[in-house]
Chains A and B, each alone.
Chain A
Amino acid sequence: MAVLDQLIELTADGVVYSSIIVLGSIGLSLIYSIAGFANFAHGDTMTVGAYSTLVFFGILGGTSISVLGLPLSFFLALLSGIAVTAVVALVTERFVYKPLDIGSIGLLITSIGVAFVYRALIQIQFSADSRRYDIDRLRPIEWLLQYNIRMTEHDIAIIASAIVLVVGLHLLLQHTDLGRKMRATADNPSLARASGIRVRRIELWTWIIGAGLAGAGGAFLGLFNQLVPRMGFNLLLVIFAAVILGGIGSVYGAMLGAFLIGMVVQLTPILTSIGIPIGSEYARALAFLIMVVVLLVRPQGIAGEAVGGGG
């Protein structure tokens, strides 16, 4: 029975954590499929989102009206943070990645440099100390506690916002002109160009959407834990694991992979309880091993469409 209680408790945490990973993974997968390289700066893009939200929230201050324990101004700051992250990504794309002519591996290496620059600038401005949003921490919601679920209203807000963003992206991809063009471009850039799609414009939109989602993920990560300059870099590999598990280039695969990897990371303590001697300190290691196994056994991931193009 104790194991079941623990399972419920960890699952609740896992759902929140997975929501954050989902937001990071979608962006990474989108950029991977359209820009054609593994963007190692994606984790630090999330950090940019977290810190710009921090700055805007500091400017706006708290408001009396709050939704789910979060002042309304936080959501405003979040939107501004998302916008800043998208702009940062666009500027980087325009002035760093675009002028390069060195293939996907060169872009990959360049993105590491970009990641370092983001992180260094944030650390110079905000120091390496951890920070929090100026929002009171909440106690778990009472009526959920009777089911052994420990969730705060903030956790609910993270999950709800992630769902809104994911559903929004789904509608965008399936039911708008831009979405169709994005899917076409990801599928086959040359064909898309030949059929009159302005591929360059689609690329820019992909960066905006991918970085924006990452920014939101970073802001929620700051709410879930705290803000440190390394937060995004530390999450990067978990996100890669999620994207690879789901299948690179597939947005829906990334969502599923992110959910599974997030759960694995958060549910690892259960292994000790049921007698498998792998402690929670190896949660991340477990995620990476799953990633390597997936690469070996099923490199196209769960959502396995045919692999091709990509890099």
Chain B
Amino acid sequence: MADVSTLTDPRGYWGDLTSEERGVAGFLAAAVLVLLALMLTGVLNPTYFLFLFGLGGMFGLMSLGLNAQWGYTGLINFSVAAFFGLGAYGAAIMTASNSPIAGDMNPIFGLVLGLILSAIVAIAIGIPTLRLRADYLAIASLGLAEVVRLIILNEGQWTAGSQGLRGIPAFFEGWPVLSTLPETLPQVNIEVIPGRVVTLGFPFWRQLLNVTLVLTFMAGAYLVLRRAHRSPWGRVLRTIRADEDLAKALGKNTYFFKMQSFVLGCLVMALAGVFFAHLQLFVNPGNLDPTTTFYVWVAVILGGAGSNRGALFGGFVVVAIREGPRFIEQLPPAFLTEFPPGFLRDLAFITDDVLFELPSIAISPGPLQLLLVGLLIVLIMRFRPEGMLPPQRELIWPDAVDENVRKRPDSGVREQRGGDGDE
């Protein structure tokens, strides 16, 4: 419904949005404009931009998966990195050139292996842990994720151990048209600022293909999860999250539902891992670092637990936090040597001192990322624990919406159904 009304009645659609949704939409529009401007002026390399976008999509996918566990069912899964890694390793084992057991196969087999591996491990981890109390589940899943990481690190006869798997082809290698498409597309030169030509060549097209792939994965996962969430099955999950005893009293086998939700989420995370293997073209055990798990958690909490749109939004914000410090670190020298001759150096407050000082301000990106993520977690939990885009109408079947009470509850519902007697 959203898609249609956006086209036919944009103003009405905007009016329907909550203030949070407007804020997020405005923020996204501003971010896109800034990035486009940076790209057209040559500050940001378009190929790198697409790479970042691919990473954003990847985090978005993982957040969708975690949302299906934490947001729908209330499962505290701290093993996101393990399933991401299983997907990546599944893909790599089948396709990498130095894979000890298979290798050099069509990426489709890697996709299948990644999904199967993660489903098996999800069930194996789920059987003992899903019966546990929420905080025990958190600790146990973090511990088991570490076990998975240790196995991948130490069983070199399958995974090549700490040296990692190399020579992974692009995902579309061996496909009819798509495998050669990037080579055949022409080189495009864009010149917005005279003298600064932005060239879009083979690497750009190949990265664009990657982005298309992640968008496809994302769209697929989003549609499936949204459908599932609104279905009777999804309503059981929501009941479990709200009150598991109630769900049991209604005769639902909650353990079974939790297991389904857990496996579904883990499959989506593995999908992100498969994409990552074909984006980065090599994987190593470092990709299973538990910190990734918490980045994904930030994305879901920031977006709003239970909200698929929020999870996607959070995924992109997390990539901005992860890559931003790295970018800022690189920015001052390049920015100041190439850019300011035109207008920045003329500004009175930019003296040579400042130019000299700026690069040294930059803290190395690793701890800065960690600091930003940590602060973000604390601030969200303090000021907006429900996230930026908490689920509202997206939980309701479009057909079930009573057109007469379309307005937000505080006006529509009370006027229409007044007389309940409460304030």
Nearest-neighbour CB distance to chain A for B290, whole angstroms, equals 8
A120 with B367, Cβ < 8 A, contacts A115-B374, A237-B143 known: yes
Q: Any chain A CB within 8 A of the CB of B40?
A: no
Nearest-neighbour CB distance to chain A for B363, whole angstroms, equals 5
Task: Tell me if B374 and A295 are in contact (CB < 8 A).
Answer: no
The docked-state distance in angstroms from the alpha carbon of A125 to that of B168 is: 38
CB contacts (< 8 Å) of B143 on chain A: these are: 237, 240-241, 288-289, 291-292
What are 28 A-B interface contacts by the 8 Å CB criterion?
A: A96-B382, A99-B382, A102-B385, A104-B134, A105-B76, A105-B134, A105-B135, A113-B374, A116-B371, A119-B367, A119-B370, A120-B367, A124-B364, A127-B364, A229-B367, A237-B139, A240-B139, A244-B139, A281-B150, A281-B154, A282-B154, A285-B151, A291-B140, A292-B128, A292-B143, A295-B128, A295-B132, A311-B135
7 closest A-B pairs by CB: A113-B377, A116-B374, A288-B143, A120-B371, A117-B374, A123-B367, A120-B370
Specify which of A116, A124, A285, A299 is in contact with B377 (CB 8 Å cutoff): A116
Task: Tell me if A285 and B138 are in contact (CB < 8 A).
Answer: no
Task: Tell me if A295 and B140 are in contact (CB < 8 A).
Answer: yes
The docked-state distance in angstroms from the alpha carbon of A37 to that of B370 is: 23
Q: How many A-B residue pairs have CB under 8 A?
A: 128
- A115-173 residues with Cβ-Cβ distance < 8 A to B are 115-121, 123-124, 127-128
A123 with B294, Cβ < 8 A, contacts A311-B133, A311-B135 known: no
- Closest partner residue, chain B, to A38 (CB atom): B135
Q: Any chain A CB within 8 A of the CB of B259?
A: no
Q: Is the interface of B mostly helix, strand, loop or mixed?
A: helix
Task: Tell me if B382 and A282 are in contact (CB < 8 A).
Answer: no
Task: Tell me if B381 and A102 are in contact (CB < 8 A).
Answer: yes
Task: Tell me if A244 and B136 are in contact (CB < 8 A).
Answer: yes
The number of chain A residues with a CB under 8 A from chain B is: 45
- A260-288 residues with Cβ-Cβ distance < 8 A to B are 279, 281-282, 284-285, 288
- B109-152 residues with Cβ-Cβ distance < 8 A to A are 128-129, 131-136, 138-140, 142-144, 146-147, 150-151
Q: Any chain B CB within 8 A of the CB of A114?
A: yes
Interface size class for chain B?
Answer: 35 or more
A112 with B297, Cβ < 8 A, contacts A37-B135, A96-B378, A244-B136 known: yes
Task: Tell me if B146 and A284 are in contact (CB < 8 A).
Answer: yes
Q: Any chain B CB within 8 A of the CB of A296?
A: yes
Q: Any chain A CB within 8 A of the CB of B263?
A: no
- Closest partner residue, chain B, to A104 (CB atom): B135
Specify which of B147, B153, B371 is in contact with A289 (CB 8 Å cutoff): B147
Q: Any chain A CB within 8 A of the CB of B181?
A: no
CB contacts (< 8 Å) of A99 on chain B: these are: 382
Specify which of A120, A237, A299 is in contact with B146 (CB 8 Å cutoff): A237
Q: Any chain A CB within 8 A of the CB of B215?
A: no
